[in-house]
Structure 1
């Protein structure tokens, strides 16, 4: 089994299998009418769209950096598995082993936000049933507003910030306000929008630019600045952030990488954003 890899600017990106959800298509495309969005993204008979939850291993300067953590294992009840359309959970640890790595070899975990579908892989159960950190030697970078909100969630956000995802890693977390750069040229930038503390990842090294807009553009079908999620807490902030970061990056011929997309791991649009010129496709045989 060969995991999908991509190299840009001397940085290697490897996609790990973090599990898969199937979420309501209407919620994922907000106010966009179904006849428009279903032309761009497939939908099943339950009106659900497939959303991967696949962390990206980023390797640069001898460091192993994990972007997001996937669904983990054993975190969901039978009811939750049905509601979130989870058909399989994480193989991240096994994938790392196939690369000659252990969870303890991860130096940094970069979290764009801490919703359950991004953060459930942070911890796992011990033999005694307690939850402990999976990546024990890593520094976790989380935007400070996001970190405060998950500890004191409101009536809406309490359903996505799970204590078992953040309490076991609390001693490993470092927070930032506007941006952080744990490795030169690899930055998390606070945007808000999807959540108050939502951030994006921008990598600028070796003359190449790679952008992960996280849940501002969870799939290639969300490229339109106005196509934002019903799940977004602050949709106008999402639109503003997409105008600020997405449109210039397209014109700069940046590469875009994805965590949720069912089809594309990475792609590069032409300067008008109308044509995909190059792409790294997901290999379904890896599942």
Structure 2
């Protein structure tokens, strides 16, 4: 999960990558269904407008699936079920995109070679806060954006209208409720130097859903350990965090009710059974 301070940069990089394509087939122009946060929810609204409800005072952006039960009649929401075969195909997309992204960035910086421990730990630059940024961190960021561009293209073909990339959620552990935080709101808070208000929100790389981003069917996070032989780990939250001493994966499992997957080159899909 990328930090809130990288949100604006990440969105720009991702847009550029989507224009350059994924693998052998390049994307032609701006992908259909593309939205600010790379959320395919707007596509769901077009396909099933009856299930899209705007928040008070806001335009329709994210469809909210309605489960309607009426006396004497019923209306069934257009919800998708993630069967085993489709789940396996989505897993394959994730694995392919992780491998492809890693290879592309290795070609760009290392002539296609895998980095050594020394190269991973070497300083690449200093960020705006004066903090050291290693090549492991720099490459990881670029690989994330490259992988997400690939995923957007592939899932638009396989699971259109029912996936989100970098969708941010507020999770209320007391009630189990999930609320969506728009990309526009994230950018606004970052620009106003109020990014601290995003503390405790969750931002998986990829969420597979029914057409309603709050009806989660699967969750994936890309991990690009450097070197690749290191086992990909869920990040552990620090003491000052609302989820202190817990791992990212544990919180995802609680909030979304699914077994979240780590996706990494060499390692493939790593998923804990609930």
Bigger RCO (CA 8 Å, 6+ sep)? 2
- Which structure's CA Rg is the greater one? 2
Q: Same fold (TM over 0.5)?
A: no
In terms of fraction of residues, the more helix-rich structure is: 2
For normalisation by structure 2, the TM-score amounts to 0.25
In terms of fraction of residues, the more strand-rich structure is: 1
